[in-house]
């Protein structure tokens, strides 16, 4: 994967010009350069690129358009779009109009160079960039590597990324950063350790369910816990999904993949926190031991749950893991999950909703999401909808009928399992980029974790 270069040798100057700056540049340019730029119709429209010839017949310098503020507001990572339009070479970024977003844009350049080549070599070249000295290139490289880990995990099909493989990736990350890891593996072990809903969801699969548990950092540092949904494939269970809905279910462990990406950010950049990562890793399959509609499960917390749809399994495994996390009262607790289609209907694939009752955390996440170009939007833990998740025959219903407020009722279900943590936040992500965009290749997506990391970095 691409990282930044530090040497200026043989670098081609890359000038970024906005719509107002192109006239000034032409006034200061040589007559031949000005004529060349004018003849090529360069107006500094967003993403427009023109290569100027050098004395040796090669590329002497490149002008790239930054457009207008209105044009830039329609997307993000515009430098990544420029990178995709450049000939393969090494470029050195010149002072220009990018301003306060310079680090975000340079990160976008790296993110746009992601390639998933596990099954087919992807030799598409990626231009190299030399950044201005003010850019913290080492830090950006670590953020990009974390995103690439997330994308690799999600993009890998379930045959090669079942619970066992996810465990191996989890343990490899723990070993790399000298974290402590523990695995509770198999139905009997999960039931003995009081994780009955994780066991029930994974009971029908050939690859045994398990709970992955990692801790890192000094023991007396502020406790921050991340719970990631690790449903490695979701058939829907006996409430089987139609084929069109099952096609992307390798990404149903996107919450776990993003949790591991966030953990890599935290550990590689050395935040002073006591990090804990919990991943219930299961496959929601169909066989004789599969849970059935109408079954009632007893959770780790003791709350009973009526199963009205076996395709609402993610909240079940998260609930047991959240109950465990809550037992040690972390200062911050996040759950990351590809949880509901309702969230996608509300906000689409690019903008995950987040839910929290902590106003300070909500404000910080909103600010950070804008600052690092990692969009989030707050939806409410709307307490008046609590009766919708109370079926009468059990404490909770895993799939309320009616279909309204599906993302909210799922979040309310999870909140029932958190009582001791002062600041809990649930993020309902899509985990997938359906169409390639600047800095975001089609496929598995790193969602929300850069915003979370920015909050953690500013606090700790």
Max intra-chain CA distance, the chain: 83
For the chain, the C-alpha Rg in angstroms (whole number) is 24
**Annotated catalytic residue, options 136, 139, 185, 241:** 241
Eight-state DSSP code of residue 289: T
φ, ψ of residue 121 in degrees (nearest 5): -60, 130
Please report which helix (H) or strand (E) contains residue 28, including its range.
Answer: helix 21-28
Could you please report the per-residue DSSP string of 176-200?
HTT-EEEEEESHHHHHHTT-HHHHH
The residues near 228 (Cβ < 8 Å, ≥ 6 apart) are 253, 255, 256, 257, 258, 259, 260, 277, 278, 279, 335, 336, 337
* Nearest of 313, 270, 278, 319 to residue 166 by alpha carbon: 278
Token pair of 176 as six digits: 């790399």
Please name the residue that has the structure tokens 């000295």: 133
> Is 442 in the active site?
no
Residues 446 and 150: beta-carbon distance below 8 Å: yes
What backbone torsions phi and psi does residue 450 show, to the nearest 5 degrees?
A: -70, -35
CB atoms within 10 A of CB 18: 18
Helical spans, DSSP H, in 177-313 = 187-192, 196-201, 243-246, 254-268
Helix or strand or coil: residue 123?
coil
- Residue 315 is among the residues annotated as catalytic for this protein: yes
Structure tokens at 159: 């045959």
Which residue among 210, 250, 274, 315 is the active-site one?
315
User: What residues form DSSP beta bridges with 335?
Assistant: 227, 426
Task: Give the catalytic positions in this structure.
Answer: 241, 315
């Amino acid at each position: 994967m691409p990282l930044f270069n530090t040497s200026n040798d043989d670098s081609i100057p890359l000038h970024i010009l906005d719509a107002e700056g192109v006239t000034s540049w032409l006034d200061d340019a040589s007559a031949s350069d000005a004529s060349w730029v004018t003849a090529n119709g360069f107006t500094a429209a967003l993403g427009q690129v023109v290569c100027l010839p050098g004395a040796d017949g090669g590329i002497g310098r490149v002008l790239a358009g930054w457009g207008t503020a209105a044009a830039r507001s329609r997307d993000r990572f515009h430098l990544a779009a420029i990178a995709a339009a450049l000939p393969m070479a090494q470029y050195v970024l010149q002072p220009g109009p990018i301003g306060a977003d310079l680090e975000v844009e340079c990160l976008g350049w790296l993110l746009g160079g992601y390639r998933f080549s596990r099954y087919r070599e992807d030799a598409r070249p990626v231009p190299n960039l030399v950044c201005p000295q003010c850019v913290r290139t080492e830090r950006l490289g670590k953020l990009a590597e974390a995103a690439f880990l997330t994308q690799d995990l999600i993009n890998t099909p379930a045959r090669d990324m079942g619970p066992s493989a996810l465990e191996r990736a989890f343990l490899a990350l723990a070993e790399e950063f000298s974290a402590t890891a523990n695995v509770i593996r198999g139905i009997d072990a999960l039931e003995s350790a009081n994780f009955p809903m994780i066991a029930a969801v994974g009971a029908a699969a050939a690859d045994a369910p398990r709970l992955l548990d990692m801790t890192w950092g000094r023991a007396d540092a502020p406790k921050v816990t991340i719970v990631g949904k690790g449903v490695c494939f979701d058939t829907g269970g006996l409430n089987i999904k139609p084929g069109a809905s099952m096609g992307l279910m390798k990404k149903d462990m996107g919450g776990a993949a993003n949790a591991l990406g966030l953990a890599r950010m935290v550990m590689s950049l050395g935040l002073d926190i006591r990090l804990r990562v919990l991943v219930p890793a299961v496959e929601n399959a169909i066989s004789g031991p599969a849970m059935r509609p109408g079954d009632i499960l007893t959770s780790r917390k003791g709350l009973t749950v009526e199963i009205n749809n076996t395709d609402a399994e993610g909240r079940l495994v998260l609930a047991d893991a959240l109950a465990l996390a809550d037992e040690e009262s972390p200062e911050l607790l996040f759950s990351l999950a590809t949880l509901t289609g309702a969230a996608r209907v509300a906000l689409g694939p690019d903008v995950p909703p987040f839910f929290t009752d902590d106003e300070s955390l909500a404000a910080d996440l909103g600010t950070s999401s804008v600052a690092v170009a990692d969009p989030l939007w707050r939806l409410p833990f709307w307490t008046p909808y609590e009766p919708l998740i109370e079926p009468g025959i059990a404490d909770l219903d895993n799939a309320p009928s009616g279909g309204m407020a599906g993302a909210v009722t799922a979040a309310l279900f999870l909140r029932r399992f958190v009582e001791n943590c002062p600041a809990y936040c649930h993020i309902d992500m899509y985990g997938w980029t359906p169409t390639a965009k600047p800095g975001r290749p089609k496929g598995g997506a790193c969602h929300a974790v850069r915003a979370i990391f920015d909050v953690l970095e500013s606090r700790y």
